A and B are shown apart, each in its own frame.
Chain A
Amino acid sequence: MDFFLQQLTNGLAVGSIYALIALGYTMVYGVLKLINFAHGDLFAIGAYLGLTLLTAFGLTRFLGPLGVVIVLALMVMGLVAVVGAVLERVAYRPLRQAHRLSAVVSAMGASIFFQNALMLIYGARYKVYPHDILPKNVVSLLGVEVPLVRLLVLLTSVLMMVALYLFIQKTRIGTAIRAAAIDQRAAKLMGINVDRVIMIVFLIGPALGGAAGLMVGLYYGQINFTMGWMYGLKAFTAAILGGIGNIPGAMVGGLLLGVIEAMGAAYLSIAWKDAITFIVLIAILIVRPTGLLGERVAEKV
């Protein structure tokens, strides 16, 4: 029971990070029908920017641990959002009218560019986050000692997801984002500035991805310039699992994938941890390509 709960909470925490990244894939796919292959690298940029900001400004000297994390998160999210918006402007908008494949190639190019830029700036070795920022406390959960950090990661991610969900469901802009994802031309006929909607999606997705990168840095303590690739792939799998284009689907898919992975690693073999993701991806593509929540109401013509 103890072991199981450890794995479950760990799986949920990691899964919530996958979910945050998956949201970026799914939202961009929603409005552009494009897989933003550079999204994983935006996540990695978030992790590195977090490290830089943390060490460069010596934030820990002025603020308590909670303050540090909040200020850091806001800065990282803002900066990665800007990188995302620039990416859209430079790599995707000029190709809006071009063939779909051109944008895919452009996305891959952007991914390679970001990865190499990170390597050139920060070096190819693992970088280590200072490990005195977050409390080392453990909390007792159903009689099991669970690291506080793990719960904080889960809680923060869930809070962000709830905020996003409310934004998408309840606000005018959120409704416009959903409308543009369903039918761009009809959205334009409603007076929606679809270019602006796409820009907003490229601010929100990368902001969440950047936050996820920061969390990985804080949670695991070390980062690498290729991390965007593996996390990106897992989050992409999570998005497919939940139904690509579907926002709640990305959340559910991320959490589920995290738990499946943790359980697989625990009860099968740790060596299988990453392979499990691919098995899930292949299985879902065969059994239910629309994903768990991906079924749309048939539209009458």
Chain B
Amino acid sequence: MLQVENIHVSYGRVEALHGVSLDVRQGEIVTILGANGAGKSTTLNAICGIFKTTEGAIRFEKEDIHTLAAHAIVARGVAQVPEGRRVFGTLTVRENLNLGAYTCNDKARVADNRQRVYTLFPRLAERVDQLAGTLSGGEQQMLAIGRALMGNPKILLLDEPSLGLAPLLVKAIFETIREINRSGLTVVLVEQNARAALKLAHRGYVMEVGRIVLEDTADRLLADPEVQKAYLGGAR
């Protein structure tokens, strides 16, 4: 469904990705693990057209998207929940959700999606008129995910959704991701919380300084001694 082929991305003169390739199939949860600065967020933003690739190609549903502007990529069904949530703080919850449906012209469909988001996160339904900036961190994360779902995406890219959340909430968010995936949505999950991510995902990639160094099924990555040492805090 999504093929990333040997992409290079630079910030000014510094190259951050030196040829990253990924393959995501329909219906999967794929996780990308890696230390800080490995290039995980850069990869997601390259997929979404926020950063342009200098080399390589990105294909979504067999079409090149690395040549498109970010808004056009979103319109094709690629949604991202960015690192740090980036909800629109001075807009209300309702307005944030409406913006998530910006590319969707079908009113009935938007109403459906809204209902779905409220079912997933009843907390948001209670706070529709509250400014997003005044929500708690966990509520903001729910809003960020809900907002991404409003546009009816075909693939959802999540960048560290558990960042800064209490363990119980992390569990709830991960459960929600599983639920969303079961309903048919393909998911790419970037996480620091490697163990939880691998338990949730079907397959995983490990990144180190701008490259993919390992790729396997989630079970095998969980059992891999190298991965355990580097990302899972030793064997258990």
Segment of A129-137, A183-191, A257-265 in the binding face: A183-191
Docked-complex contact B91 and A182, CB < 8 angstroms: yes
A238 at the interface (CB under 8 A from B): no
* Chain B, 162-198, CB within 8 A of any chain A CB: none
Among A187, A195, A297, the residue within 8 A (CB) of B133 is A297
Docked-complex contact B71 and A300, CB < 8 angstroms: no
What CA separation (Å) do A286 and B135 show in the bound complex? 32
A296 at the interface (CB under 8 A from B): yes
Docked-complex contact A182 and B90, CB < 8 angstroms: yes
What CA separation (Å) do A242 and B38 show in the bound complex? 44
A298 at the interface (CB under 8 A from B): yes
Docked-complex contact A301 and B84, CB < 8 angstroms: yes
Docked-complex contact A190 and B147, CB < 8 angstroms: yes
What CA separation (Å) do A298 and B134 show in the bound complex? 8
Residues of chain B contacted by A297 (CB below 8 angstroms): 89-90, 131, 133-134
A99 at the interface (CB under 8 A from B): no
| Given contact pairs A179-B99, A182-B91, A191 touches B86 in the complex (Cβ within 8 A) | no
B219 to chain A, nearest CB (A): 32
Residues of chain B contacted by A182 (CB below 8 angstroms): 88-91
Docked-complex contact A186 and B74, CB < 8 angstroms: no
A193 at the interface (CB under 8 A from B): yes
B28 at the interface (CB under 8 A from A): no
What CA separation (Å) do A183 and B83 show in the bound complex? 13
B235 at the interface (CB under 8 A from A): no
Number of interface residues of A (CB under 8 A): 24
Residues of chain A contacted by B137 (CB below 8 angstroms): 300
| Given contact pairs A299-B133, A300-B133, A193 touches B69 in the complex (Cβ within 8 A) | yes
- Among B74, B90, B99, B135, max chain A CB count under 10 A is at B99
- Among B70, B74, B75, B103, max chain A CB count under 10 A is at B70
* Chain B, 51-85, CB within 8 A of any chain A CB: 69-71, 74-75, 79-80, 82, 84
Docked-complex contact A192 and B99, CB < 8 angstroms: yes
Docked-complex contact A194 and B133, CB < 8 angstroms: no
What CA separation (Å) do A190 and B48 show in the bound complex? 11
A186 to chain B, nearest CB (A): 4
User: CB-CB contacts of A193-232 with B at 8 A, as 1s and 0s?
Assistant: 1110000000000000000000000000000000000000
Residues of chain B contacted by A186 (CB below 8 angstroms): 82, 86-88
A96 to chain B, nearest CB (A): 13
| Given contact pairs A189-B82, A194-B71, A300-B137, A183 touches B99 in the complex (Cβ within 8 A) | no
Among B70, B98, B135, B140, the residue within 8 A (CB) of A189 is B70
Among B71, B88, B98, the residue within 8 A (CB) of A193 is B71
B39 at the interface (CB under 8 A from A): no
A52 at the interface (CB under 8 A from B): no
B151 at the interface (CB under 8 A from A): yes
What CA separation (Å) do A206 and B50 show in the bound complex? 29
**Apart from the given pairs A182-B90, A190-B103, A194-B71, 11 other A-B contacts in the complex at a CB distance below 8 Å:** A176-B99, A185-B82, A188-B74, A189-B48, A189-B50, A189-B80, A192-B99, A300-B89, A300-B133, A300-B136, A300-B140
Would you mind naming 18 contact pairs between A and B with Cβ atoms under 8 Å apart? A175-B91, A178-B88, A178-B90, A179-B88, A179-B99, A182-B90, A182-B91, A188-B48, A189-B80, A189-B82, A190-B74, A191-B151, A192-B71, A193-B71, A300-B133, A300-B135, A300-B140, A301-B84
Binding site for A on B (CB under 8 A): 48-50, 69-71, 74-75, 79-80, 82, 84, 86-91, 95, 98-100, 102-103, 131, 133-137, 140, 147, 151
